[in-house]
Amino acid sequence: MEAIIKKLEDLRERFLRTKALLDIDRKKEEEHELRLQMSEPDFWHDRTAAVRHGQKAEELATEVREWLELGDEIREAEEISALAQNEDNNDLTEELHKKYEELEKKFFHLEFFSLFSGRYDRDNALVAIHAGTGGVDAQDWAQILERMYLRFSERQNWRTETLDRNYGNEAGIKSVFFRVTGAWAYGYLKSENGVHRLLRNSPFDADGARHTSFALVEVIPEIKDDGTIIIRDEDLRIDVFRSSGPGGQSVNTTDSAVRIVHLPTGLTVSCQSERSQHQNKENALKILRTKLYQLALAEKEAEERKLKGDIQKAEWGRQIRSYFLYGNRLIKDHRTDFETSDIDGVLDGALEPFMEAYLKWLKE
C-alpha cells in the first residue's frame, strides 16, 4: 500500500506543476468572462465574433473541466489509500493500482497540451499535399497521406473541408488543399510540414519492383484577418474554370472554380469546393491573405536571425519522415528518430506519438 501512496503523491505533484504551467485557473476566469459577455443583449449583433467567442468559451470550459475532474479523482484515490493504509487488503490494493494507471493515462493525455507553445497552436490549420517525383506512385502516395490526415482529424472530432483537389490521370491525386477546423489543429498538424518519402513494392508496376515516391505536405495556421495584410486588386490575376473530377472530367457546367495569382510574390491559390464562383473567390482570398501573412512573418524571422548572426540554410526537399512498406516494415521520423512498426495504425490516423516526439524535440 505504501508504494501506491507514493505513486499517487508523485502524480499529484506532477499534476499541480503542469496545471500551473498551463495556467488553468486563469483560463477558468477567462471562460467566466466570456460567458458574461455572451449574456449581454447585443452579443449576437456581430454574429461572426459571437460564434468565435462561443467556440473559445466551449474550448476553455472543456479544458478546465478535464483538469478539475482529474484533480478530484487524484484526491479521492489518495483519500481511499490513506484510509486503507493499515489494512491488508490485496483486492483493494490491486484496485488502487488500476485506478493509478487510469489516472496516469489521463494525466499524460492532458500533459500533452503543455508542449504547445507556438503562437498559432490553438488555431485551425490549412493543409496542402502535393505529389512529388514518382509518377502514378507519388500521386497514389499523396492520396494515402490525405486519407491519413482525414482519419486523424476524424479521431480528434475536427471538421475538414476540401477547398481544392487535382486528380491524377491514372490514380491518386496530384494535389489537394483542405481546411481543418478544431481546437489545437495547427499545434498538432505542424509536425507534418515537410517531405514524406514512401518506399514500397509498387502496385502499379507489372513486376512489382520497388519504387520510391515523395509527397510534400504544407501546413499553415488559418490566420484571422486583423487588417495588417492589404491585398490590392491590381496585384491579382484571377482565372475562372470548371471544377474537375477524376480523369480530368468536368464536374460542373459553369466556370465556378477560381484561381488567384498574387503577382508581386507569385503565390497561387485555387478553390473549387463551392458551386458558387463568388464563394470560391472569397475562400481563395482568405487563404491568400493567410499565406501572405505567413510569408511576412517568415521574412521578419529571417531578418532577425541575420541580425543575430544565426543564418540557417533552408533545405527544401529533404524528407522529414520515411515509410518503409517492405522487409522490416517501419516508419521513421528523421528529425526525432522516433520510429514504429505499426504502419497500418499510422496510415489510419494514429499520428499522436510522432506529434508528441516532434513537440518534445522542438523544446530541446
| pTM of structure | 0.72
Confidence of residue 226 (pLDDT cuts 50, 70, 90): low
Locus of grid cell 467567442: 53
Provide the CATH number for the domain around residue 340. Answer: 3.30.70.1660
Q: CB-side exposure of 97: number of CA atoms within 13 Å? A: 9
Domains identified in the chain, total number? 2
Better-scored residue on pLDDT, 208 or 312: 208
pLDDT for 51 equals: 84
- Residue 58: all three cell numbers together: 466551449
Q: What whole-number percentage of the chain has pLDDT above 90?
A: 47
Confidence of residue 249 (pLDDT cuts 50, 70, 90): low
Average pLDDT, the chain: 86
Question: Are both 245 and 309 inside the same structural domain?
Answer: yes
Question: Are both 57 and 164 inside the same structural domain?
Answer: no
Range of the domain at 129: 119-364
Provide the CATH number for the domain around residue 45. Answer: 1.20.58.410
Listed ranges 75-79, 161-165, 220-224, 295-299; the one with the highest mean pLDDT: 75-79
Q: What is the pLDDT averaged over residues 6-13?
A: 93
Question: Are both 58 and 147 inside the same structural domain?
Answer: no
**Cβ count within 10 A of residue 349:** 17
Question: Are both 184 and 286 inside the same structural domain?
Answer: yes
Instruction: Give the Cα separation of 260 and 281 in Å (integer).
Output: 8
Question: Are both 332 and 219 inside the same structural domain?
Answer: yes
Question: Are both 307 and 328 inside the same structural domain?
Answer: yes
Locus of grid cell 490553438: 122
Q: What is the pLDDT averaged over residues 285-293?
A: 84
Q: What's the alpha-carbon Rg for the chain, to the nearest Å?
A: 25
Among 65, 85, 115, the domain-final residue is: 115
Question: Are both 30 and 161 inside the same structural domain?
Answer: no
In the sheet that holds 236-241, the strands lie side by side as 236-241, 257-262, 267-271
Task: Give the H or E element holding residue 128.
Answer: strand 125-131
Instruction: Give the Cα separation of 196 and 321 in Å (integer).
Output: 5
Confidence of residue 243 (pLDDT cuts 50, 70, 90): low
Question: Are both 127 and 173 inside the same structural domain?
Answer: yes
Question: Are both 177 and 288 inside the same structural domain?
Answer: yes
Question: Are both 219 and 107 inside the same structural domain?
Answer: no
Please name the residue ranges forming H helices in the chain: 2-21, 24-38, 47-83, 90-111, 135-155, 185-189, 277-308, 343-347, 352-363
